[in-house]
Chain A
Amino acid sequence: MVARSKTIAPAKAGAADDVEPLAILMDRYIDGDARAFEELYRQVAPRLLGYLIRLTRDRARAEDLLQVTFTKVHRARSSYLRGAPPVPWLLAIARRCFYDERRSARHRPEELSFDGAVPEPKPEPAAPATDVAEALEQALRSLPESYREAIELTKVTGLSIAEAADVVGASEMAVKLRVHRGYKLLRETLRRFSRS
């Protein structure tokens, strides 16, 4: 959609105390306050982008989806029921954008090569991790999608189990299980890394 370039300073997940609550910013944005949108964007965009990158595993695609998400948010702002927690509301819209895009991509025609096969890009073999952060990133990438998403929402984005369950449309018990199983796999991977 739009070219990408240098990055802006990210807002920390888990806003500081002096930061205006997101629900108030959302209300002010709906009431037509552009500065409230700026602040809302500064606080939530990195979290949305991080979540979308985790879903797509592709930063360019994630940035496109971030734009689609905010376009939808802007169009639907009059339907936002005041009092709804903004971050899960926004994440649920982002998630829906991702799945809609994935569904439409499946129906998109692919160009075939001369032998009639769909050209598949070969996955690049991951270089061995050199520090814990890198090992964690690789371990997260290797998790099944549902586990990775549950951990991303609860651990990285900072949602509660109930909020994460709302976003992914599953029961709290299911999300708890996914986080638990994801942790187990992560622990095994990281143990292997520390041994090596």
Chain B
Amino acid sequence: MSAPEDDPLAELAWPEPPAPGQQVSDAIRRHCTENLRPHRGLGRELRAGISVAALGAVALWLAAGMGTPHLARAALLGAFGWGLVALAVLFTGLARPPGRRIGRERRIAMAALLPLLFLAYLALSAEARLPLREFFDGPVELAAACALNALLAGAAATSALLWLWRRTDPMSPAVSGALIGLIAGIAGAVGVGAGCAADEAWHLVAGHGLGVAVLALAGSFVGRRWLAP
């Protein structure tokens, strides 16, 4: 609670906050205190715990359902690393109460840059790189199936998390929504990646990674409505 340090107008008598009219106050008091009962919602720890469980469930369900498990050490390490990134985003950008979180600029940077970093990681970690035309001439359906799986599972996780955190953030609901879309998208992409044996750059970027950016964008639009009280 402070004003700027070199306050040139410190000596001024700033206007006192006005009091609401008696009838307005009575109406508000009546509305807010009649039949007032304990109305405890989920604590933020519980919300964060359920979020982690939901994200893990989506990733494991996808990995198990995709068919061929991809047990290469590098892929597992990558999945583990991005799982940690998603947890860090969840706990620093979302699970702390609004007003006590990391700065708004950093949260926006996370929401904007992490999807790009994820796409770059997928492109660089691929073992095969085909020219774009050859990719389109090849089995595009496989990439489309992966993209659909990652997107649908990620959308389900995004919806679940938006519902879980609904009405918790009047300050920056769009940024929080984008972060929810981001971590749900990462869970979907990691799940699909763990169950898909394809190792070509375009396939990974379009089939596994694009959903992350799409869900972060969608999360910011839906979060604007759902996360604000």
Contacts and interface: CB of A to CB of B under 8 A. Distances in A.
A171 interface: yes
B29 A5 contact: no
Contact of A30 (B22, B39, B104, B168): B39
Given A13-B17, A72-B229, A89 B8 contact: no
Given A81-B168, A88-B99, A166-B98, A50 B15 contact: yes
Interface of B: 1-4, 8-9, 12-25, 27-29, 31-33, 36-41, 43-44, 96-100, 103-105, 166-168, 170-172, 228-229
10 closest Cβ contacts across the A-B interface? A78-B41, A76-B229, A84-B97, A46-B17, A10-B19, A50-B17, A81-B97, A79-B167, A4-B21, A92-B170
Contacts of A137: 15
Contacts of B39: 30, 32, 77-78
Nearest to A54: B15
Contacts of B228: 93, 96
A195 interface: no
A82 interface: yes
A71 interface: yes
Contact of A81 (B12, B17, B98): B98
Given A30-B40, A66-B28, 17 more contacts: A7-B18, A8-B20, A11-B17, A31-B38, A32-B39, A45-B25, A49-B18, A49-B20, A66-B24, A70-B32, A78-B40, A79-B166, A80-B41, A81-B44, A132-B13, A136-B14, A157-B17
Given A2-B23, A30-B39, A88 B44 contact: no
Nearest to A169: B172
A159 B1 contact: yes
Interface of A: 1-14, 29-34, 37-38, 41, 45-47, 49-50, 53, 59, 63, 66-67, 70-85, 88-89, 92-93, 96, 132-133, 136-137, 140, 154-163, 165-167, 169-172, 176, 179-180, 183, 186-187, 190
B22 A82 contact: no
Contacts of A162: 103
Contacts of B168: 79-81
A170 B98 CA distance: 14
A160 B29 contact: no
B114 to A, nearest CB: 19
A161 B4 contact: yes
A132 B105 contact: no
Contact of A71 (B31, B171, B172): B31
B32 A84 contact: no
A136 B16 CA distance: 12
A37 B33 contact: yes
Contacts of B12: 132, 136, 190
Contacts of B18: 7, 10, 46, 49-50, 53, 59
Contacts of B8: 183, 187
A49 B2 CA distance: 20
Contact of A155 (B3, B36, B171, B172): B3
